[in-house]
Amino acid sequence: MTAPLQVSMTLALGLDPGTATTGYGLVRQYRDGSLEAVDFGIITTPKELPASERLDLLYQELNQILDRFHPETSAVEKLFFQRNISTAIGVGQARGVLLLALAQKGLDVAEYTPNEVKQAVAGYGSADKRQVQEMVRVLLALPEIPKPDDAADALAIAICHLNTNRY
């Protein structure tokens, strides 16, 4: 008698960093290449809090997600040039907190530019946001486009990472 086949799978966490709103998306990939959305959402921090407290809240919330789901791999969107320097600094600080939390859990972290994510998900590095969101919906067999946009972006980052790691 042969044992039943075990379906190997990988759970990836994608993160779209921001101080006010950080999107997260957990995607499971099965041996046959199919994808499943496990969970997605946003982590928000109140504007009235000092930056240090907002970053601490982001850190705590991400650790709760990591402890709940135990992803095997992770990916974070790379910081790209922004015209608004204060926005870029805030995103950079949030990225630092996210990278620290992931490293402390022993997760490998990949980083992708927005164009790399668009290419991997929609097949075109200059795809618009709506095209990428629709492909996320299709690839994950969701009834509608994930909301809010930051969560959809995080799912796209996780899909990009899983597709990139397959090869």
Catalytic residue among 16, 61, 116, 153: 16
pLDDT at 166: 62
Residue 67 annotated to the active site: no
pLDDT over threshold 70, residue 85 = no
Mean of the pLDDT values across residues 38-64? 97
Is the separation of the CB atoms in 160 and 117 below 8 Å? yes
The pLDDT of residue 79: 78
- pLDDT tens sequence across 137-162: 999 999 999 999 999 999 999 999 99
Is 116 catalytic? The answer is: no
**Which of 61, 116, 150, 153 is labelled catalytic?**
150
16 is annotated as an active-site residue:
yes
Cα separation, 151 vs 25, in Å, equals 6
Q: Of 32, 48, 67, 77, which residue is the catalytic one?
A: 77
Distance (Å, whole) CA 113 – CA 85: 18
Is residue 6's pLDDT more than 60? no
Average confidence (pLDDT) over 64-91: 86
Mean model confidence pLDDT for the chain: 91
